[in-house]
Amino acid sequence: MTRESVKQASGGLREQKKQRTLLDLCLAARRLAVEHGLDATNIDDIAKAVGVSPRTFFNYYETKLDAVVGPIGEIGTPQARREFIAGGPTGVLIEDLTWLHAAGFQPESEVREGISLVTELVMAEPRVLAAFIASGARMEAAIAELLTARRGADVDPEFASLTAGIMTTITMRAAMSLAADPQGSLAAALHEHCAMAARLFRPDDSTRETLR
């Protein structure tokens, strides 16, 4: 193995560890907030639950509420983002966006737990709902950055905003569809809902039959 390949492998492992810590802190914050309430949850407890120092916590999130909301701007995985920016994996934008979002649904058991915890928190803590609404701007900015990098040119802010809204809605509906199917795959549900949304832009079969 060359020195360059060793360097790349080491960098990849560090990247994976940082991503894991980012997600672990989010899940710990949500668990503690559901169990004890948002006010009784503190950063020291969140950090302790993950096995890191409070100082390390601030390398990832500014506040406990930020940790509860989670890494909004971290769509997919670093590797998936690189492939998306390069124009993959299919070359069809909506399919690639769906694939990118689905790439972050690992492990699915934790993702589903996280969604369940957020549902409880939103109902119990208006501040959590407000924080998620406020995070919409971060999502739009992240989408705009990815689209700009993929195209090699700036994208219309309205297009980025619309894209973020569509993907948020599809993801939310996919998650809701699994309420009666605890063993279902969130990634598969996301792809299925993307395919359903695509039907809106195709000629309707019943209409074509009527016109014949």
| Tens-place pLDDT, residues 131-144 | 988 888 888 999 99
- Of 193, 191, 195, residue with least CA distance to 102: 191
- Please report where in the chains the tokens 């569809």 appear, as a residue: 177
Across the chain, which distance is largest between two alpha carbons, in Å?
A: 70
What per-residue confidence (pLDDT) applies to 205?
66
Mean pLDDT, the chain, whole residue set: 86
With bands split at pLDDT 50, 70 and 90, how would you rate the model's confidence at 206?
low
Residue 7 reports pLDDT greater than 50: no
Domains of the chain: 1-71 (1.10.357.10), 72-201 (1.10.357.10)
How distant, in Å, are the alpha carbons of 22, 41, 44, 96 from that of 53?
13, 16, 8, 37
SS3 content of the chain, % helix, strand, coil (to 5): 75, 0, 25
What per-residue confidence (pLDDT) applies to 211?
45
Collapsed DSSP state (helix, strand, coil) of residue 144? helix
Taking only the tens place, the pLDDT of each residue in 38-54 is: 999 999 999 999 999 99
Q: What is the distance between the alpha carbons of residues 13 and 56, in angstroms, rounded to a whole number?
A: 18
